[in-house]
């Protein structure tokens, strides 16, 4: 039987190879993954419009593997096998400027001589909360920054954790260059993530973080509430930007929002 004969035996052999491959990825076994690649492997990442050979794959795989032992992709279907080819579908969900954003990816893996001979990986970007008539798979400008969907999801996680732990937004002079440097990425990479993937500008991302900080401070403050002072303390460097961001997020003016908090506090005191 040749390596490309179809039939139950070939399907079973393909399933066993792909399952070993899947488990090596899951357990972050880089050497195990590399050992399963055929010497003539061609790994086509159509999101990046690039094809990698064996000598390029080690770095690519290492930067795309799970970071934590318990991390798991959201598989949208079981692994399907037909002859010498297996099909895998999964998604990576991020939170973007307009709601949830998902990379939906599929891989077609071809096995030859018991090793992974071809991988064709496709990815599309879906904005989950757009209106029904606009909700469809869209492909962002092809990433020429050397980043796969998995790597972009890691970058989004790094950016979010940096903002939560370091609170750089409290500095009114914060800029994109500093954020990129302190997160360990290039300015172009962070800009691509924000604009092409998460669907928002850098300053909107920063101001949303400032607003969340301020809303928490308002909930913990005691009347009389000095909203303008809290806004500057949260990193806003102009009241017009603050008022615009506040109304867009809450649907109210800062004054009306503060009044509600004061009334609620008074009611609790009188209870």
Domain boundaries, the chain: 8-200, 207-270
Query: Domain spanning 8-200: which CATH class is it, in words?
Result: alpha beta
Residue bearing tokens 């992974």: 116
Reading the chain (271 residues) residue by residue, the pLDDT tens digits are 344 455 788 899 999 999 999 999 989 999 999 999 999 999 999 988 899 999 999 999 999 888 877 676 677 778 899 999 999 998 887 766 556 678 889 999 999 999 999 999 998 887 765 444 444 444 555 566 778 888 888 999 999 999 999 999 999 999 999 999 999 999 999 999 999 888 889 999 999 999 999 999 988 877 777 899 999 999 999 999 999 999 999 999 998 888 888 777 676 666 6
Burial 238-267 (b: 16+ CB within 10 A, else e): eeeebbebbeeeeeeebeebbeebeeeeee
CA 181, CA 175: separation in Å to the nearest integer? Answer: 10
CA 206, CA 245: separation in Å to the nearest integer? Answer: 11
Query: Domain spanning 207-270: which CATH class is it, in words?
Result: mainly alpha
pTM of structure: 0.79
């Amino acid at each position: 039987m040749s390596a490309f004969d179809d039939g139950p035996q070939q399907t079973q052999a393909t399933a066993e190879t792909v399952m070993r491959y899947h488990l090596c990825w899951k357990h972050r076994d880089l050497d195990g993954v590399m050992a399963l690649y055929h010497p003539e492997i061609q790994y086509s990442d159509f999101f990046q419009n690039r094809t990698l050979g064996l000598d390029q794959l080690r770095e690519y795989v290492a930067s795309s593997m799970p970071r934590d032992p318990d991390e798991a992709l959201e598989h949208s279907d079981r692994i399907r096998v037909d002859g010498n080819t297996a099909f895998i579908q999964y998604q990576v969900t991020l939170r973007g400027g307009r709601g949830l954003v998902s990379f939906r990816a599929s891989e077609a893996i071809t096995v030859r001589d018991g090793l992974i001979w071809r991988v064709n990986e496709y990815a599309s970007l879906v904005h989950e909360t757009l209106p029904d008539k606009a909700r469809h798979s869209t492909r962002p400008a092809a990433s020429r920054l050397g980043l796969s969907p998995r790597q972009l999801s890691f970058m989004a996680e790094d950016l979010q954790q940096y903002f939560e732990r370091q609170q750089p937004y409290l500095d009114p002079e914060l800029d994109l260059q500093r954020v990129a440097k302190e997160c360990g990425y290039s300015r172009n990479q962070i800009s691509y993530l924000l604009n092409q993937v998460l669907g928002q500008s850098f300053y909107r991302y920063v101001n949303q973080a400032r607003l969340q900080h301020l809303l928490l401070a308002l909930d913990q403050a005691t009347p009389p509430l000095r909203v303008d002072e809290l806004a500057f303390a949260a990193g806003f460097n102009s009241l017009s930007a603050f008022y615009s961001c506040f109304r867009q997020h809450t649907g109210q003016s800062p004054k009306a929002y503060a009044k509600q908090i004061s009334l609620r506090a008074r009611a609790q005191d009188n209870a």
